[in-house]
Copies of this chain bind each other. A is one copy, B any other.
Amino acid sequence: MKKIINNPENVVNEMLEGMVKAHPDFIERVEGFNVLIRKEKNNRKVALVSGGGSGHEPSHGGFVGYGMLDGAIAGDVFTSPTPDQVFEAIKNVDCGKGVLLIIKNYTGDVMNFQMAAELADMENIKVESVVMNDDVAVENSTYTTGRRGIAGTIFLHKIAGAAAERGMELKEVKRIAEKVISNVRSMGMSLTPCTVPAAGKPGFELGENEIEVGLGIHGEPGTHKDKIMPAKDIVKHLMEKILNDYSVSKDEEVAVLINGLGGTPLMELYIINDEVNSILGNKDINIVKTYVGNYMTSLEMAGFSISILKLDDELKELLGDKANTLAFKQF
């Protein structure tokens, strides 16, 4: 295993330290916990908390800040954070207007976040939660009952974050979050596996000319392996799966996220976007906003996912709101 780390057991701690030292104006760490919270607090809003295993950076700590999350919990690499860590985040960000938990649909995350919500309930903190399940590749999977939550979660952070920043009540923020979930679909593929530091070897294997189609962000198996093919054929397949899963009609508006999994050059992500743009253009679907980059990664995995978010006026307006976090800035 060739990685630029010290002790595999300390990667999460050292990463969090490095993040806080790089961005002390945006985030601070809750002492003794793997929890990052917003530095400049807004004490008159619903608080948003997300998190999950580490190894998906900048998710989720990179999205803590104005117009997005108030707190993020970093579990061990590819491992759900424990309920006490999630509870600590909740306690630190609640200002009396309640907390919305944004959970990706993995069995461990759902269970641990729900247990934290119960702990919070015992202390009379209002907590609601939503579960993202945007990955159209497979129903059920390693670690998951139902569909997995992947990069579409970024749209959820952005839009629910904007709703909260505008001062909407918990019930409203949750309604909007659920609309995002019902309007977003994603699917990915990879060229290479990745290596969890503590494991020391790749999580799965791929042949020299082989790709994994529809895999999860922890390297969970996708729909099938295939031979490497031109970008346009890969994109065509993923877009068919996404657009066959729900109805996006002519003249409707969408936002697009081309998400790199950590080891894919931006050059390739932009080539992918060129293809996605053509496919949507040929269907007269209007792209209002496009994001390209590493938003939810799988360590050093080479690969990408496409997320399509169908917009109505409300979602479009909130998506356009200002955000200012380490990894997502929009003005």
Contact = CB atoms under 8 A, between A and B. Distances in A.
Interface in A260-286: 262-274, 277
B271 A5 contact: yes
B264 A22 contact: no
A292 B22 contact: yes
Given A17-B274, A18-B273, A22-B292, A264 B57 contact: no
A19 interface: yes
A321 interface: no
A179 to B, nearest CB: 25
Contact of A5 (B14, B231, B304): B231
A120 interface: no
The main secondary structure of chain A at its interface with chain B is: mixed
A91 B246 CA distance: 47
Nearest to A272: B4
A221 interface: no
B265 A55 contact: yes
A265 B262 contact: yes
B266 A302 contact: no
Given A2-B191, A4-B268, A18 B274 contact: yes
Nearest to A266: B57
A2 B234 CA distance: 13
Interface in A135-179: none
A21 interface: yes
A123 interface: no
6 tightest CB-CB pairs across the interface, nearest first?
A18-B270, A18-B274, A57-B266, A329-B329, A18-B273, A22-B290
Interface of A: 2-7, 11, 14-19, 21-23, 54-55, 57-58, 62, 191-192, 208-209, 211, 228, 230-232, 234, 256, 258, 262-274, 277, 287, 290-292, 294, 297, 299-300, 302, 304, 324, 329-331
7 contacts: A2-B302, A14-B270, A18-B273, A21-B273, A22-B270, A23-B290, A55-B265
